[in-house]
A = this chain, B = another copy of it.
């Protein structure tokens, strides 16, 4: 796979081309910085968009869920779209029309493959786990055979993907810059809070470094 994102009819940006990114590293950066994606599937002829976890290994995205979940059943072997979005701020312009948001977003298109090989299933689950909660795979109880049987793992190639970002101040119409109104960006930040121990935790169990220092 090349280091650039080759546009296909779906991923070629129709509008705001200057917001497109073509480096594979940009795609990885957007995906790796996210915690959940929005998985789009077609279920009974209707689009369905479900928030769910994911993980990346090279150019493969892994998704998982209960074998009973409608969205997972609709996704296996079918075309899907996975979108990861970071909202970085609200862009306040001098006109309503040029209001916008600063964001980084990745869209991945493809046919989701149901992973059946036991080794790849375990790899996928580990990748998913380490993405959401790095360090936990080795710290807690591993999945049992029964738990594994209840879990569907899907793989999606990153071959067909696009990245779009907007950053910086508003882009106003030339004549609007003279208007006596404030313009700029109201930034948004996602921050971790202090770990909240499970009330059922026995006294004296310390917060592990990989959680504390995240």
Contacts and interface: CB of A to CB of B under 8 A. Distances in A.
A46 B109 contact: yes
Given A96-B137, A133-B99, A198-B184, A89 B189 contact: no
A58 interface: no
A198 B170 contact: yes
B201 A184 contact: yes
Q: Size band of the A side of the interface?
A: 35 or more
A211 B41 CA distance: 38
A17 to B, nearest CB: 12
A47 interface: yes
Contact of A183 (B40, B43, B185, B201): B201
Given A177-B200, A183-B198, A187-B193, A49 B107 contact: yes
B196 A95 contact: no
Copies of this chain: 2
A101 B141 contact: no
A118 interface: no
A131 to B, nearest CB: 11
11 contacts: A38-B38, A38-B40, A38-B85, A48-B109, A49-B49, A92-B211, A94-B140, A95-B147, A99-B132, A186-B211, A188-B190
Given A182-B197, A185-B195, 12 more contacts: A41-B47, A95-B143, A96-B137, A96-B143, A97-B144, A101-B132, A133-B186, A140-B181, A141-B176, A169-B198, A187-B193, A189-B193
Closest 10 interchain pairs by CB? A187-B193, A40-B49, A40-B47, A38-B38, A95-B141, A169-B198, A49-B83, A51-B85, A97-B147, A184-B197
Interface of A: 9-10, 14-15, 35-36, 38-51, 53, 66, 68-70, 79-83, 85, 87, 89-90, 92-97, 99, 101, 103, 105, 107, 109, 125, 129, 132-133, 136-137, 139-144, 147, 151, 169-170, 172, 176-177, 179-201, 205-208, 211, 214
